[in-house]
Structure 1
C-alpha cells in the first residue's frame, strides 16, 4: 500500500502526488508501487526491496542522492489464539526533497504520524521526523516489554500446578522474543550513534532534547529486555523442576494405591486355589465365617500398608 502525506498549514493531509517535503509510506507494497516510487524518486529498486526481507540487518547506507536507514521495529503476530512478539525491518529513506518509509507490514509505529497526533511533527522537517520515528519505536518496545512482563506473571500462577509442557514452551517462546528484542535494540543503538555523526543528517538545535530522549528510551528498553530475559531464563529452569516435581507427586500417589491394592489381590489369589479343607488346606476354608474373616483381614492389612507407605520417607 502506497500512501502519501504532507503537512499543510500545520495539519497532516493525505495527497495524491509527491511534492517537496512530502512523506511516502510503503506498507506491504506491490511490485507496481515499488516501481512507481523508484521511477519518481530515483531510488534503487533493490534498496526499496531491502526491508521486505525479515532477515535484513539494521544499518545506515549513504548513496548518491539519498540516505537509507534500516532499523528493527517490534510487531505482533497472532498464532494459536495468542499474541507473539517479533521484530521486522523498517527502512527510512531520506532524499533531497522527500522522506520514504518502507515496511513489510502496516506497522502501528507509524500510525500516529499518519493521524497527525504527534506533537511538533512536520513532514518537511525530515531529520526531526526520523528522530520521532526512533523515539516512537523505542516506546513501542517498552510497551511490548511491559505486556510480556504481565503475561509472565499470569503464566507464573498457572505454572505452580502445571504438569504439562505447554506452559514451559510458552516461557521458551517469550525468552526467544526477549533475545530478539535485545539484539534489535542494540543494533538500533548503533544506527543512532552513526546518525549523530552523519553529515547529511541535519539536526535542529531544538532537537537535541529529542535525540537525548531517543537514546535514553532505547537504553532503557535494552536494560528491560536483558532483565526480563534473565528472569525468564531462571523461571524456565525453576518451573521445569516444578512440573517434574508435580508429576513425581502424582506418581507417588499412584504407587501407594497400586501397592495397597496388591495386598488384597495377593490374599484373594491364594484363597482362589483349589486346596482341600483339612491339615493341608487354607486357614478358615472350612469355617462358615471364613469368607468374611478373610475380607476383614485383607482390608485391615491394606489399611496398615497404606498408612505405612504414606508416612514412609521413600514416598515423601
Structure 2
C-alpha cells in the first residue's frame, strides 16, 4: 500500500500523486510499488526492500540519489489473545524532493504523522521529519517498556501461589521482548550518532535541541530495558524456586494426609483378616464395629494432632 502526503496551510493532507516536498508512505508494498519508487527516485531496489526483512539491522546508507536511515521500531503482535512485543525495521529515504518511508506493517509512529497529530510536522523539512520519527520511536519504546513492566507485575502476583509453568513462560516471553528492545535501541543509538555527520541531509539549527531530546529518550529507553531485563531475569530464577517450593508443600500435605489415613487402614486390615473371632477384641460385642471405627478415628486424630503440634501442616 502506498500513500502520498503533503503540507498545505500547516495541515497534512493526503494527495493522489507525489509532488515536491511530499511524504511517501509505503506499508508492505507490492513489487510494482517498489519498482515505481526505484524508477522515479533512482533508489536501489535491494535498499527499498530492506525494511521488508524482519532481521535487517539498523544502519545508514548514502548514495548520490538518496540517503537511507534504517531503524528498528517496536511492534505488537497478538497471539492467542496475548500481546507479544517485537521489533520491525523502518526505512526512511531522504531524496531530493521527498521523504519515503517503508515498513512491513502499520505502525502508530507513522500513523500519528498521517493523522496530523504531530506538532510542527512538515515533510519539506526532511532532517526534522527524520528526527521526529526517531523521537516518536524512542517514546513508543518507553511506552511499551512501561506496559511490559505492568504485565510482569500481574504475572508476579499470580506466581506467588502457582505450581505450574504457565506464568514462568509468560515471563520468558516478556524477557524475550526486552532482549529485542535492547538490541534495537542500541543499534538505533549508533544510527543517531552517525545521522547528523552525514552531509547529504540538510541540517537546521533548530534541530539541535530535538536531536538532543532524541538521544536522551533513546538512552532512557536503553536504561529502562536493561533494568527491566535484569529484574525479570532475577524474578524468573526466584519464582522457579518458589514454584518448586509450592509443589513441595503440596506433596508434604499429601504425605501427611496419607500418614493420618494409614492408621485406620492398618486397624481395619487387622480386623478384616480371616481369623477366628475368638480372641479378637470386641468380636462378641454387638457394638464392636462402631467401637473399632471410633478407635480408628481417635488414633487418626491423635496422629493429626501430633503433626499439628510439630507444625508440619505449615
TM-score range, shorter chain: over 0.9
1:20 maps to what in 2? 20
Alignment of 1:230-309 (within 5 A): 230-278=230-278, 281-309=279-307
Alignment of 1:52-201 (within 5 A): 52-201=52-201
Segments of 5+ residues of structure 2 without an aligned counterpart are: none
Q: CA deviation at 1:191?
A: 0.3
Segments of 5+ residues of structure 1 without an aligned counterpart are: none
- Whole-angstrom CA distance in 2 between matches of 1:292 and 1:95: 97
Specify the SS of the correspondent of 1:109: helix
Q: CA deviation at 1:152?
A: 1.6
Q: CA deviation at 1:287?
A: 3.1
Q: CA deviation at 1:313?
A: 6.5
1:227 maps to what in 2? 227
Q: CA deviation at 1:276?
A: 1.0
Specify the SS of the correspondent of 2:250: helix
Q: CA deviation at 1:314?
A: 6.3
1:310 maps to what in 2? 308
Alignment of 1:26-45 (within 5 A): 26-45=26-45
Q: Deviations over 1:36-90 (max 9, x none)?
A: 2222212111111111010000011112311111100001111111111110000
Number of residue pairs the alignment of both structures matches:
314
- Whole-angstrom CA distance in 2 between matches of 1:143 and 1:153: 16
Is the 2:92–2:101 Cα contact (8 Å) retained in structure 1?
yes
- Whole-angstrom CA distance in 2 between matches of 1:113 and 1:287: 94
Comparing 302-311 with 123-132, which one deviates more in the overlay? Answer: 302-311
Q: Deviations over 1:160-209 (max 9, x none)?
A: 21121111110111011111111100000000001121111222011110
Specify the SS of the correspondent of 2:109: coil
RMSD: 1.4
Specify the SS of the correspondent of 2:161: coil
